[in-house]
Amino acid sequence: MKWIGLVKGGLCVAALMVTAALADDIIATTSNGSTVILHDNGRWEYYQNNAKIRDVRPSATPEDAKFNVSVLYESAEKLKKNVRMAMEADFATEEEIKDSLRKVPKGGIIYFQVPTKQIKKGLNREFTYSIYDKGKNPIFTKTVAETEATPSEDAGVSNLLVVPVYGRPKSKVMKARVENRAAKQTLDIDVPIQ
C-alpha cells in the first residue's frame, strides 16, 4: 500500500514538473538569426535584451524624434499644362510659351513635403534625400536641414526639397529615400510615375 502511495505521489510530482516546463517561455533563434521568445499561449516577441533589436514601440519614441514626410510627384505633362495656362493668362506670345515649355523637366518634379507645424526652429535635423530610378545608384542625392523648408501652395504644408527630374524615368515606379544618418533611420517611398 505504501508503495502504491509513493507511485501516485511520484506521478503527481512528475505531472506538475511537465506542466511547469510547458508553461515556461522558450528562447529561440529564427532562421535569420533573430532571437525571439516563444510563449506557451502561441504568442511570440523579439527578445529585448538582444543588442541587435531596437525598441520602436510608439511609447519608446520621443515626440521630438517623430517625423512625417510625404512625397508628391507632378508629371511633365501636368507641369507643361500649368505653365501654358499661366503664360496665356499673362498674354504671352506663342514663342515665349514654347520657350518656357522647353525648360520644363522631362521627368517631372518630385516634392518632399512635411506639415509646417512639425518643423521646430530650435531643433536642427538634417536629412539626406535620394531618388532611385531602376538601379542601385541614386540619380539624385542631397542633404538638407529641415529648417530650410519653404512654404508650398497647400496650406499647412512645407516643401523640404523640390527635385526636378531632367531625364525621362526608365521605370514606372521610382524610389524616394529619406535618411536621418545621425539617428540611423531610413524611409523608402515608392513614387508611381504617371
Local confidence pLDDT in tens for the 194 residues of the chain = 454 444 444 434 333 333 344 457 778 888 787 777 877 777 777 766 645 555 555 555 566 566 778 888 888 898 899 888 988 888 888 888 888 888 888 888 888 888 888 777 777 778 899 999 887 889 889 998 888 888 888 888 888 888 888 888 888 888 888 888 877 788 888 888 76
Dihedral sign of CA atoms 40, 46, 50, 55 in order: negative
Q: How far is 36 from 49, CA to CA, in rounded Å?
A: 10
Domains, the chain, ranges and CATH? 23-53 (no CATH), 63-192 (2.60.40.1930)
Given CA atoms 148, 153, 157, 163 in this order, what sign does their dihedral have?
A: negative
